[in-house]
Amino acid sequence: MNRPRPCLVFGGTGAVGSEICRKLSRDGAQVTFTYYKNEARARELERELPGSHAVKCDLSDREMTAQIIAHAAQTMGGLSAMTFAVAPPNHDLHIDMNQISRTAMQDMLDFHVAAPFAACQAAVKLLQKNENGANIVFIGSLAGSKAVPAPIHFAASKAALHGLVETMSKELGAQNVRVNVIAPGLLDGGSSSTLSALWREGYKRRCLLRRTGKMSEIAEVVAWFCLENTYITGQAVVVDGGL
């Protein structure tokens, strides 16, 4: 019998992150996930998913993040996949470019690029130990590759994340560590729900499938990349219903 594959999910209590944890658990993975402030929700999800483990993490704290990665690998007996589904706090989808300070821009880049990169640096030696390789999966955004309405600092950080994936995949390919980013379009919950009804209806008219995406559909793609992917790397996989 194959040993359950150990997976670490950063941002497991978020709208997308919790669905990723559920899907991974249903598919037989061993799941450790992080939360930042919502401990009650984390413990509820932990009880819902037998064998899962929730741990508090501030991704901006490099030392804490490295310790959590090491501890997760130790308790799960290794690390075969790591995914990032952390949403920035107080994300305002309606902010004008003239309202974005230099600090706000830097904070967004740190959150979406620098902090996850530091986590990958801490995890790479553990991921390289897997005989069949390992997967790193980021949650990006359609705003990182297409001109859709989004705050400029958010879109710029997601575009930078896509670039990070491409360059990391070149360096880690020889170690059989695959790196990809899943870029959702408009979803039926999470921060997408704060957009106006007019914008949402316009999206559905232009989308080939004529609807917004489901959190579970994003989770299915992420889980496949975590558990099944063996030959795709350096890619931004857009899941937008055909916009």
pLDDT at residue 54, as a whole number? 98
Specify whether the CB–CB gap between 9 and 34 falls below 8 A.
yes
Whether 100 shows a pLDDT value over 90: the answer reads no
Whether 78 shows a pLDDT value over 70: the answer reads yes
Domain boundaries of the chain, sorted by first residue: 6-238
Per-residue pLDDT tens over the stretch 102-157: 998 999 899 999 999 999 999 999 999 998 999 999 999 877 777 676 778 888 89
Q: What confidence category does residue 195 fall into, taking pLDDT thresholds of 50, 70 and 90?
A: low
Query: Of 4-18, 20-34, 97-111, 124-138, which gets the smallest average pLDDT?
Result: 97-111
Segment 177-205 shows an average pLDDT of 81
pLDDT at residue 99, as a whole number? 86
Specify whether the CB–CB gap between 218 and 182 falls below 8 A.
yes
Segment 184-205 shows an average pLDDT of 76
Give the whole-angstrom CA distance, residue 231 versus residue 135.
10
10 Å Cβ neighbour count for 183? 23
Whether 199 shows a pLDDT value over 90: the answer reads no
Whether 1 shows a pLDDT value over 60: the answer reads no
Burial of 242 per CB tally in 10 Å (0-12, 13-18, 19+): exposed
pLDDT at residue 237, as a whole number? 95
10 Å Cβ neighbour count for 155? 20
Over the Cα atoms of the chain, what is R_g?
Answer: 17
Q: Which helix (H) or strand (E) holds 98?
A: none
10 Å Cβ neighbour count for 19? 23
Whether 94 shows a pLDDT value over 80: the answer reads no
Angle at 39 between CA 105 and CA 187, to 5 degrees: 55
Homologous superfamily of 6-238: NAD(P)-binding Rossmann-like Domain (3.40.50.720)
Residue carrying structure tokens 């990169």: 117
